């Protein structure tokens, strides 16, 4: 590893990439976790919509549940059922059930998204290391990682929200990946994900960021459902998602992770000329 001293601009190539899991690398549409959140609230006779379940995707799972409980419609439903608003003890209880169900569910949603395995192979040929970050905790990843590996997807580093002080949008998982992958400086890294919190995580870490629209949580559809959509309706929805990612600060927005190779070449060109992901 060449030593880089922070007294000049980094002009080398991309060294490492950090990918989210569900909706970015595996589980087209981020179906597994969304389903679990709906079912956990249903166990308490509180109905939540799949839309509400997706609003906080990408955060650490307890933070996700806390956010859902603070939604006006969810708070009203909880109060109607229990004559009180949900409190922190309720968040803890819901999280415990989520952890159990998530472990049982995500193993069935571990298939790599089309083109991801081949793309990882091309990135490795370029000398790029593959890291990952996720809102899942270690117990969940202990199930998901080997299941995905059997199907061909195996990043070089796996960091989850329970490994660091706080999950997204804090940058700690990206920093942990940088340590494990021995990558420095942070502008030599690219964060790829399908949620706003993924983009915020990468920006906070000083990395290039790429948002994924077609396969991720924002659209929230399986591959078959996407293929069955009216093309004009699909284009409209993808444009709306792209605009939200751009507004959040994403440097690039792509339909699929498999589309990323040309973006890496473009970032390499920018780095060579001294451009940084946090210029202006």
Confidence band of 3 (pLDDT split at 50, 70, 90): confident
* pLDDT for the residue 165: 95
Which pLDDT value is given to residue 259?
97
Which of the listed residues 47, 76, 108 is the one where a domain comes to its end? 108
Please report which confidence band the pLDDT of residue 4 belongs to, taking 50, 70 and 90 as the band edges. Answer: confident
Nearest to 105, CA basis, from 157, 46, 30:
30
Give the residue numbers spanning the domain of 85.
Answer: 32-108
Place of tokens 């580093």: 157
C-alpha span between 143 and 240 (Å, rounded): 34
Q: What is the pLDDT of residue 123?
A: 98
- Residue 196, burial from CB neighbour count under 10 angstroms (0-12, 13-18, 19+): buried
Residues 119 and 70 in one domain: no
Q: Which of 35, 55, 61, 191 is catalytic?
A: 61
Whether the per-residue pLDDT at 194 is higher than 90: the answer is yes
Tokens encoding 160:
């989850």
Given the residues 20, 27, 52, 63, select the one marked as catalytic. 20
pLDDT per residue over 5-49, tens digit each? 778 889 999 999 999 999 999 999 999 999 999 999 999 999 999
233 falls in which pLDDT band (50, 70, 90)? very high
In this structure, the answer to whether residues 234 and 142 fall within a common structural domain is: yes
Q: Is 20 a catalytic residue?
A: yes
In this prediction, residue 279 carries a pLDDT of: 58
Q: Provide the number of structural domains found in the chain.
A: 2
What pLDDT, on the 0 to 100 scale, is given for residue 77?
94
Average pLDDT, the chain: 95
Domain boundary among the residues 108, 126, 149 is at 108
Report how far apart, in Å, the C-alpha atoms of 121 and of each of 62, 158, 186, 207, 280 are. Answer: 34, 17, 22, 22, 34
Partners of 134 in the beta sheet? 160
139/232 same-domain check: yes
Query: Regarding predicted confidence, which is higher, 140 or 278?
Result: 140
Q: In terms of domains, do 133 and 64 share one?
A: no
Assess whether pLDDT exceeds 70 at residue 1: no
Domain-located, residue 159? yes
Residue 280: per-residue pLDDT:
45
Does one domain contain both 136 and 66?
no
Confidence of residue 199 (pLDDT cuts 50, 70, 90): very high
The 10s digit of each residue's pLDDT in 117-158 is 999 999 999 999 999 999 999 999 999 999 999 999 999 999
60 vs 127 pLDDT, higher one: 127
Give every CB contact of residue 181 below 8 A, 6+ residues apart in sequence. Answer: 15, 16, 129, 131, 156, 157
How far, in Å, CA of 203 to CA of 76, rounded? 35
pLDDT reported for residue 5: 75
Domain CATH for 62: 1.10.150.240
Q: So what's the pLDDT on residue 7?
A: 81
278 — pLDDT class (breaks 50, 70, 90): confident
Shared-domain flag, residues 149 and 232: yes
């Amino acid at each position: 590893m060449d030593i880089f001293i922070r007294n000049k601009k980094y002009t080398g190539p991309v060294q490492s990439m950090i990918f989210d899991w569900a909706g970015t690398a595996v589980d087209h549409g981020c179906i597994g976790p969304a389903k679990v959140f709906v079912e956990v609230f249903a166990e308490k006779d509180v109905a939540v919509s799949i839309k509400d379940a997706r609003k906080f995707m990408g955060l650490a799972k307890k933070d996700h549940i806390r956010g859902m409980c603070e939604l006006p419609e969810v708070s009203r439903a909880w109060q109607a059922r229990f004559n009180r608003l949900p409190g922190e003890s309720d968040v803890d209880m819901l999280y415990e059930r989520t952890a159990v169900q998530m472990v049982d569910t995500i193993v069935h949603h571990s298939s790599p998204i089309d083109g991801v395995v081949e793309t990882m192979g091309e990135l490795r040929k370029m000398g790029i290391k593959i890291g990952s970050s996720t809102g899942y905790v270690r117990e969940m990843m202990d199930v998901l990682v080997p299941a995905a590996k059997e199907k061909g997807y195996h990043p070089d580093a796996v960091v989850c929200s329970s490994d660091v002080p706080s999950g997204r949008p804090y940058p700690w998982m990206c920093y942990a990946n940088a340590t494990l992958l021995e990558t420095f400086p942070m502008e030599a890294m690219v964060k790829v994900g399908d949620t706003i919190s993924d983009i915020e995580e990468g920006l906070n870490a000083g990395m290039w960021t790429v948002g994924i629209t077609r396969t991720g949580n924002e659209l929230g559809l399986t591959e078959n459902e996407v293929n069955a959509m009216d093309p004009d309706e699909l284009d409209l929805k993808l444009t709306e998602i792209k605009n939200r990612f751009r507004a959040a600060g994403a440097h690039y927005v792509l339909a699929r992770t498999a589309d990323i190779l040309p973006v890496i070449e473009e970032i390499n060109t920018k780095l060579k000329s001294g451009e940084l992901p946090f210029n202006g």
